[in-house]
Amino acid sequence: MKNKWSILLLVLLSTLSLSAVNISGTISYERINPLHNGSSTILDYNNITTEKAKQVIVEAINSSGNSIATTSTDDNGEYLLSSLPSNTNIKIRVYAKMFKSSKWDVKVVDNTNGNALYVVEGDLTSTGTSNSQRNLKTLASTTQSPPFAILGSIYLAMQKVLVADSSVVFPTLKMNWTVNNVESGTYYDGHENIMIQGDQNGDSDEYDDHIMIHEWGHYFEAKFSRADSIGGGHTSGDHLDIRLAFGEGWGNALSGIITDDPIYFDTMSSSGWNMNVESATHDTPGWFSEASTQRILYNLYDSHDDTTDHLSLGFKPIYEVLVGPQKTTKAFTSLFTFITALKEKQPSSTQKIDAIVGNEEIATIDDIYGTNRLNNVEAITLPIYTPLTINRAENNICTSTTYGVSNKLNNHKYIKFDINEKKSYPIEIVQTNGRTSDPDFAIFQTYPFKQVALSESDTKGSERKTYTLPIGSYILDLYDMQNTKKACFSVNIGDKSGIAPDNNNESSSDTIGTTLPENKIIALLLILAIMFIPALFIRTELKI
Ligand SMILES: [Ca+2]
Ligand SMILES: [Ca+2]
Ligand SMILES: [Ca+2]
Ligand SMILES: [Ca+2]
């Protein structure tokens, strides 16, 4: 009898030791918060908070280095790895990666180390015979926290979008961060990479959540909306090309919208800076200003009434315009296209929208082309889009560098025209005040919106090129590569005789779909970048 009980006990014990156990825990990271002092901002090492690492991938790794179970943390940073073998040595590995099938795929890699994915690991210890807890926390004093801080900013942005539209699927995004990214800049590459500067002795951006979200805003525009911005340098007091003004104003406003904090900041090891997107002093208010654009977008969203802002739309109406009419608009994406569409979608808020816009010294916006502007800019600015009839020259279309060169207001002039018959059209642009300029042009088909032509010959004073254009509405973007102080042009599109032969006979420019280069150097850099970037990213990365 006694023997029988012993055998039973043995069986019971062996069953227990073979049974599965669960390991659960919390993954967290330390974030260094900003300290604002007037218009300067620094990282405050006396204000380090512990944050939950949300939606990151967690694995159980055995002593052979193989993954035996995978899961993700939830929105509380908690994970559960169930049915692990008992009495088995494992370690917990956390990846700087958020992945949910048909939802999101974001990771942080070291672009100077073969695109290696950042990971943190716990100790290799036995799973024991019962369920247990293993927490992991990365410290701000190490380089382990920045990748999780970066993911935290991006997740915050994705959550806001998902509240507005739960069906969104976010295309793959790779955040490239390392302390070796010194003077490399922080920017979105137009595809699936955000490059992040990590210079610990200069400007690092891993804890600058407004900058992370600003760049994510460019990714959002490219993937879900449309960005016609021509890029280039800019500051908040500039008179900008309307496409650039909207893109940058949107990025800054989005940072305030996602964080519900209007103080946009950039910390550096010395003194960084900040600006309040809601209440900063009006530099040069207007439809060409990124500062005005960001203040308008933020005030449309926020529920803090100030000055002429008595509207609290929240994010969803803004999101719906960006993914809807702003994406398909027949004009260049600008404040005009955005406000026109928002008023159409929110007719009961029209007056309040006009009041917010009006506070920036912008006359009521009633159409996507921005007609009826105030006369508070240099005279050649208006109209913003010049309508042109085929076979009838439009004279006196002038570019100028009054507000600066290349991407500033009036360096590009827009000409609207319709084609009613598909055939070959000679296009002639001739300077009427000398031969000092180098006029070039791009043509955009407006539905679906895309660049269909680019003519950039080096001849002084004129540009002539013939294109076959199908029926439709078009915008011609005219610019002077020579940055002449003021150059005026006669523009003629037509099939009439009398137009001199093409002086741009480069056959390659018949139909070009790339974005518009600002000058030859940038064009060359673009070509080099296009050749070089794939080589950079072809390197193997740690697969999980
Ligand atoms: Ca910074
Ligand atoms: Ca407000
Ligand atoms: Ca508001
Ligand atoms: Ca030219």
Residues, CB-to-ion distance under 5 Å, ligand 1: 203, 205, 208, 266-267
Classify residue 449: in a domain, yes or no.
Answer: yes
DSSP assignment, residue 430? E
Distance 271 CA to ligand 1 centre (A): 10
From the CB of residue 216, how many other CB atoms can be counted at a distance below 10 Å? 26
Q: What is the pLDDT of residue 281?
A: 79
Beta strands 193-196 and 187-188 are antiparallel
Q: What are phi and psi of 292, to 5 degrees?
A: -65, -45
CA of 483 to the centre of ligand 4 (A): 12
542 — pLDDT class (breaks 50, 70, 90): very low
250 is written with which tokens?
């949107």
Nearest to 106 by CA among 187, 168, 193: 193
CA nearest neighbour of 258 among 355, 164, 352, 140: 164
The domain total for the chain is: 1
Is 370 exposed, middle or buried, given 0-12, 13-18 or 19+ CB atoms closer than 10 A? buried
Q: How far is the CA of 306 from the centre of ligand 2 (A)?
A: 5
State CA 198 to chain mean position distance: 19
Q: Per-residue DSSP letters for 40-51? A: EEEEEEEEEEEE
Angle between helices 209-224 and 316-323 (to 10 degrees): 40
Which listed ligand is nearest to 355 at the C-alpha?
3
What is the CB neighbour count within 10 angstroms for residue 497?
6
pLDDT at 536 over 90: no
Ligand nearest to the CA of 146: 1
Between CA 301 and CA 101 the distance in angstroms is 30
- The DSSP code for 347 is G
Our measurement of the distance from residue 106's CA atom to the centroid of its chain's CA atoms, rounded to an integer in Å, reads: 15
Asked if residue 440 belongs to a domain, the reply is: yes
Residue 288 inside a domain? The answer is no
pLDDT at 523: 43
- What separation in angstroms does the CA of 491 have from each of 73, 399, 417, 426, 451? 60, 13, 11, 11, 19
Distance 277 CA to ligand 3 centre (A): 12
Q: How many A from CA of 55 to the centre of ligand 1?
A: 25
For residue 175, pLDDT beyond 70: yes
* Chain segment 405-421, per-residue pLDDT in tens: 999 999 999 999 999 99
Query: Taking Cα atoms as reference points, which of 414, 527, 520, 543 lies closest to residue 473?
Result: 414
- Domain membership of residue 409 (yes or no) is yes
pLDDT band at residue 534, thresholds of 50, 70 and 90?
Answer: very low
> How many whole angstroms separate alpha carbon 461 and alpha carbon 510?
21
Radius of gyration of the chain (CA): 28
User: Distance from the CA of 305 to the center of ligand 2, in angstroms?
Assistant: 5
User: Which residue segment(s) compose the domain that 396 sits in?
Assistant: 382-513
DSSP state of 118: P
Note the pLDDT of residue 522: 45
Q: Where are the alpha helices (DSSP H) in 230-370?
A: 242-259, 290-301, 316-323, 325-328, 335-345, 350-358
- 276 CA from centroid of ligand 3 (Å): 14
In which residue are the tokens 């509380």 written?
A: 76
Question: Is the residue at 402 inside a domain?
Answer: yes
Q: What pTM did the predictor assign?
A: 0.88
Residue 141: phi, psi to the nearest 5? -80, -5
Would you state the pLDDT for residue 517?
39
Distance 37 CA to ligand 1 centre (A): 16
Q: Does residue 156 fall inside a structural domain?
A: no
CA 408 vs. chain centroid, Å, equals: 20
- Confidence class of residue 9 from pLDDT cuts 50, 70 and 90? low
CATH of the domain at 489: 2.60.120.380
Query: Per the domain annotation, does 429 fall within a domain?
Result: yes
Contact 134, 92 (CB under 8 A): yes
Query: Is 166 contained in some domain?
Result: no
Where is average pLDDT lowest: 131-140, 301-310, 454-463, 510-519? 510-519
pLDDT in tens, 200-253: 999 999 999 999 999 999 999 999 999 999 999 998 899 999 999 999 999 999
pLDDT at 297: 98
pLDDT band at 283 (very low <50, low <70, confident <90, very high): confident
Say if CB 341 and CB 323 are below 8 A apart: no
